[in-house]
Amino acid sequence: MSHLHDPAFLRGMTQPRTRREAFRIAGLSAAGLALAACGVQGQKAAPPKADAVKDYWAKQTKHGRVVFANWPEYMPEDQAPLKKFQSETGISYQYKEVIQENAEFFGKADPVLRAGQPLGYDIVVMTNGVQLQHMIQLGYCVALDHSKLPNFAANAGEAYKNRAYDPGSTYTIPYTSGVTGIAYNTKYVKDDITSIEALFDPKYKGRVGMMGDAQEIANFGMIALGVNPEKSTEADWKKAGEKLKAQRDAGIVRKYYDQSYIDAVSKGDVWVTMAWSGDVFQRQLAGEPVKFVVPEEGGTIWTDNMLIPKGAANPVDALMLMDYLYQPAVAAELDEFIQFVTPVPGVQDILKEKAAKAAGEDKKALEQMVASPLMFPSEADYAKLRTYTSLTTQQEQVFNPIFQSITQA
């Protein structure tokens, strides 16, 4: 429930529903009735046929508008990259910060897409993980036309072109990546934390934050046991579960957090916590006493991906915007603000040049960014980073209860 902290969500809660939405709700209720009568249809999709993809794109035309649904704090406040896109292409945009959590977003999108209705967005950003997997499996993503993505082909890093969860970038291209590691409050923790064992240290009893998300916490349990989550088995999950349960029962964990962990560690409610890299970096720049490390045993790397949902009204415009963001200059401008890991390696050089020209505070900030392993991980850093485990539906039904019985006891 990371949205609890998000002003966009709170704003959403107080906005009046439009008439069109009311109709949509009525439509959903009707879908509910149909569902009551005959069960919920499965929609497992076969891989797209090349011809079908070609036919689909041949039929689409540019409409001059695009609706982009993204996470909060993922775009400079002045929306400069999007404005430039608008003036260069003549495509007007709507930018909506409506995604605060994958599970929640999927939970809302699923019934709409299942009923064959459009979501109202042309681009959606989702993290690689169970929900994105579901989106692909259920056929909720439009297969991309790579002939319209020249910048992606030219400028994306190799690792970002070959992603195990979407081979050949059939349905998605990355928006940005980030690392899950450990953050600690230097006001309360005087030692340098380097090991994942700090999260299990009785010294910090009641002052440790863990993440409530099953995949995140499972990964850290397994990394602590020396298991590579990408190659883990059911037995490993159980062992990790036992370790995490012991950690909870010993009173070491204060709480299983969503996005709110970052406030808790800045305020000192927890001293050591699992954390996402960019969040911590933004807080550091704001002068708060927090530090981020990738534990020597390893951390998790994840990627937020852009996709076009089934039924999108403006797929051609969406594809143009997705590709536009892969121009190195645009990617650099974006990354300077969001400070996660960009999929365009050329950005580092651009920011270096900019730092050379800048002066004062700006120069310092830019130099820090260029040197930061949180924004530009080295080969050695990448080698320590693991991705989420891919799970089948059957495996999920084993995996989730193991870790949810710990986080939601």
Partner 1 sequence: MKRLTPYLLALPSWMWLAVFLVVPMAAMASVSLQTGNAIDGFAMTFSFSNYADALGRYSTQLVRSLWYGGLATVAMLVIGYPVAYWIAFKGGSRKSVYLFMLLLPFFVSFVLRTISWGFLLADDGVLFGTLKGWGLLPADFHVLATTVAVVGGLTYNFLPFMILPIYVALERVDPRVVEAAYDLYASRTAAFRRVVLPLSLPGVFAGVLMTFVPATADPVNAQVLGGTGNTMIGNIIQTEYLTNLNYPTASALSFTLMAVLLIGIFIYARALGTENVLEAAAR
Binding track, positions 334-373, relative to partner 1; x by CB under 8 A: ----------------------------------------
Which of 176, 194, 374, 376 shows the shortest CA–CA distance to 284? 374
Among 166, 236, 269, 336, binds partner 1 (CB under 8 A): 269
Q: Are 248 and 224 in contact (CB under 8 A)?
A: no
Site for partner 1 (CB under 8 A): which residue of 48, 76, 157, 268? Answer: 268
Which letter does DSSP use for residue 173 in this model?
E
Mapping DSSP onto H, E and C, the string for 259-296 reads: CCHHHHHHHCCCCEEEEEHHHHHHHHHCCCCEEEECCC
Inter-residue contact 311 to 131 (CB < 8 Å): no
Nearer residue to partner 1 within complex by CB, 116 or 150: 116
Among 20, 37, 58, 77, binds partner 1 (CB under 8 A): 37
Q: Closest separation between CB of residue 188 and partner 1, Å? A: 9
> For residue 76, with 0-12 CB atoms within 10 Å meaning exposed, 13-18 middle and 19 or more buried, which class applies?
middle
Place of tokens 């380097």: 194
Q: Which is nearer to partner 1, 26 or 52 (CB)?
A: 26
Measured between alpha carbons, how far is 163 from 168 in angstroms, rounded to an integer?
Answer: 8
Stretch that binds partner 1, among 1-9, 63-71, 301-309, 323-331 (CB under 8 A): 1-9
CB of 170 to partner 1, least distance (A): 18
Spatial distance between the Cα atoms of 118 and 312, rounded to a whole number of angstroms: 6
The residue within the footprint of partner 1, chosen from 16, 17, 20, 38 (CB under 8 A), is 38
Compute the least distance from the CB of residue 289 to partner 1, in Å: 12
Q: Which residues pair with 69 in a beta bridge?
A: 96, 124
Number of residues near partner 1 (by CB under 8 A) = 51
Helix, strand, or coil here: 123?
strand
Please report how the helices 214-224 and 234-249 are oriented relative to each other, as an axis angle in degrees rounded to 10: 90
Using CB under 8 A as the binding rule, the residues of this chain from 71 to 130 that contact partner 1 are 103-104, 106-107, 110
Nearer to partner 1, 30 or 356 (CB): 30
Q: Which of 220, 256, 276, 326 contacts partner 1 by CB under 8 A?
A: 256
Q: What is the 3-state secondary structure (H, E, C) of 130-162?
A: HHHHHHHHCCCECCCCHHHCHHHHHHCCHHHHC
Q: Does the protein bind partner 1 through residue 1 (CB under 8 A)?
A: yes
Site for partner 1 in 6-35 (CB under 8 A): 9-10, 13-14, 26, 29-30, 32-33, 35
* Candidate list 125, 149, 211, 214; residue touching partner 1; CB under 8 A: 214
Please report, as ranges, the residues that interact with partner 1 according to CB under 8 A.
1, 4-5, 9-10, 13-14, 26, 29-30, 32-33, 35-44, 103-104, 106-107, 110, 134, 137-138, 206, 214, 248, 253-256, 258, 260, 263, 267-269, 393, 396-397, 400-401, 404, 408-409
